[in-house]
């Protein structure tokens, strides 16, 4: 006797990783999309007329995000103006290929695409940065620059919100990483479904409760066109440990991912813990808790031939800059 779909009783062809329910393909699509719709509605992520930039890397998460955002926008008449926004970090043999995927997605989903590059914004490609700094700290440059690049690209297209494909697994990993680092400020922020302070655009994560395994399953069954190669410069060992830990725990407790997110959401910070105060960078005007933002510091280091200048904790960076007399 074939296994029956838990929703409609027809023949099941898959087991949902999140609930362990046996399902047919159509009921899985419906359940997956409806959970994302519920997340969007419960968190009031959008208002009609919003111009929303979808951070599109060509990878599985953002490709599924673009597809589902468009489908839900049509189905529920959110009345959103959707754009694809890609950041070209200048990584030969990786981003150039994935951008080709995003260009195909632009045509497949009939969504306008804007591409901004590190080279235009900062005068440096990641290829050139890696030549200077090597593989060890290059993810710091890439992450800090991408954050601003997405904001700047969204502002260029007059978008008022950004959505990214960060999923439940990503968020659970970030909670664990911030606990291990004792980074209280980030720990408080990292489970928020919308982030972004004054001076930067609101950034939302509609996949906050969506399991990575289900995103892969959805992309596979829908035959979506996405790029699946890992970044050639990304050893990212620390996140790798958090990921491996969560995967291990998940084997004995399948709800571990959601449980970690809920734990992160419920944490409260003691009143006497000092938190960074947000201001603006005195050089570029971008939001920053220091007088000069991290992107400007990293750029200063690169341009002065001291690429390690902006790496590390703010007080150590300040000390090095004082010694060298940088303003």
Ligand X SMILES: Nc1ncnc2c1ncn2[C@@H]1O[C@H](COP(=O)(O)OP(=O)(O)OP(=O)(O)O)[C@@H](O)[C@H]1O
Those residues with Cβ within 8 angstroms of residue 66's Cβ, 6 or more apart along the chain or in another chain: 54, 56, 82, 84, 105, 109, 111
Residue 54 DSSP SS3:
strand
Q: Does residue number 129 form part of the binding site for ligand X (CB under 6 A)?
A: no
Task: Go through 59-85 and write b for each residue having 16 or more CB atoms within 10 A of its CB, e for each that does not.
Answer: bbbbbbbbbbbbebbeeeebebbbbbb
Least Å from the CB of residue 263 to ligand X: 21
Q: Does 166 bind ligand X (CB under 6 A)?
A: yes
Shorter beta-carbon distance to ligand X: residue 23 or 122: 122
Rounded Cα gap, residues 318 and 295, in angstroms: 14
Our CB check for ligand X shows the closer of 197 and 229 to be 229
User: Which residue's CB is nearer to ligand X, number 117 or number 280?
Assistant: 117
CB of 42 to ligand X, least distance (A): 21
Q: Give which of 4, 13, 76, 85 is closest to 39, Cα–Cα.
A: 76
Listed ranges 25-33, 49-57, 126-134, 291-299: which one lies at the site for ligand X (CB under 6 A): 49-57
| 293's tokens | 């933002």
Closer Cβ to ligand X, 152 or 321, answer by number = 152
Using the rule CB under 6 A, give the single segment among 118-126, 161-169, 244-252, 270-278 that binds ligand X.
161-169
Query: Smaller CB distance to ligand X: residue 55 or 310?
Result: 55
Q: Is 200 in the site for ligand X (CB under 6 A)?
A: no
Q: Which is nearer to ligand X, 149 or 309 (CB)?
A: 149
User: Is 55 one of the annotated binding-site residues?
Assistant: yes
d(CA 131, CA 50): 40
> Which residue in the set 24, 68, 80, 87 belongs to the binding site for ligand X (CB under 6 A)?
87
Residue 210 near ligand X by CB under 6 A? no
Residue 161 pairs in a beta bridge with 52
Token pair listed for 36: 């994302």
Cα separation of 289 and 131, whole Å? 29
Interaction of residue 301 with ligand X, rule CB under 6 A? no
**Is 61 assigned to a binding site?**
yes
Does position 45 interact with ligand X (CB under 6 A)? The reply is no
Of 105, 164, 174, 210, the one binding ligand X (CB under 6 A) is: 164
**56 contacts ligand X (rule: CB under 6 A):** yes
- Contacting ligand X (CB under 6 A), which of 16, 18, 60, 161? 60
Q: Where are the alpha helices (DSSP H) in the chain?
A: 25-42, 60-76, 95-109, 118-122, 126-133, 138-156, 168-181, 184-189, 212-221, 237-252, 256-266, 294-303, 314-324
- Is the Cβ of residue 62 or residue 138 nearer to ligand X in the bound state? 62
DSSP single-letter state for residue 59: S
Judged by CB under 6 A, the residue of 86, 101, 138, 174 near ligand X is 86
Nearest to 163 by CA among 127, 196, 186: 196
The answer to whether 165 is a known ligand-binding residue is yes
Strands 14-15, 22-23: parallel, antiparallel or unpaired by DSSP?
A: antiparallel
Q: How far is the CB of 85 from ligand X (least distance, A)?
A: 6
Annotated binding site for ATP: 55-57, 61, 87, 165, 170
Interacting residue ranges for ligand X, rule: CB under 6 A? 55-57, 59-62, 85-87, 89, 146, 164-166, 170
């Amino acid at each position: 006797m074939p296994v029956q779909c838990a929703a409609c009783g027809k023949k099941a062809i898959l087991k949902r990783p999140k609930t362990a329910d046996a399902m047919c393909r159509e009921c899985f699509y419906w359940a997956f999309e409806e959970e994302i719709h519920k997340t969007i509605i419960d968190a009031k992520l959008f208002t009609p007329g919003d111009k929303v930039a979808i951070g599109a890397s060509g990878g599985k998460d953002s490709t599924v995000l673009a597809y589902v955002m468009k489908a839900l926008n049509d189905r529920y008449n959110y009345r959103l103006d959707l754009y694809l926004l890609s950041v070209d970090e200048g990584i030969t043999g990786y981003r150039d290929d994935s951008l080709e995927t995003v260009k195909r997605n632009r045509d497949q989903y009939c969504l306008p695409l804007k591409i901004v590059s590190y080279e235009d914004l900062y005068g440096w490609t990641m290829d050139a940065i890696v030549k200077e700094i090597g593989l060890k700290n290059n993810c710091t440059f890439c992450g800090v620059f991408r954050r601003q690049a997405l904001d700047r690209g969204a502002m260029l297209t007059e978008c008022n919100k950004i959505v990214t494909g960060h999923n439940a697994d990503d968020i659970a990993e970030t909670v664990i990483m911030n606990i291990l680092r004792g980074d209280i400020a980030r720990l408080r922020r990292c489970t928020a479904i919308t982030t972004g302070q004054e001076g930067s655009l609101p950034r939302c994560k509609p996949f906050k409760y969506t399991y990575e395994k289900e995103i892969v399953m959805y992309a596979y069954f829908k035959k979506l066109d996405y790029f699946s190669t890992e970044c050639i410069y990304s050893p990212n060992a620390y996140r790798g440990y958090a990921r491996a830990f969560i995967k291990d725990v998940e084997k004995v407790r399948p709800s571990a991912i959601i449980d970690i997110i809920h734990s992160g959401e419920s944490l409260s910070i003691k009143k006497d813990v000092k938190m960074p105060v947000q201001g603006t960078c005195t050089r570029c005007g971008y939001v920053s808790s220091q007088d000069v933002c991290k992107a400007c510091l990293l750029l200063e280091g690169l341009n002065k031939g001291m690429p390690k200048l902006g790496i590390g904790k703010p007080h150590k960076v300040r000390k090095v800059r004082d010694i060298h007399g940088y303003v």
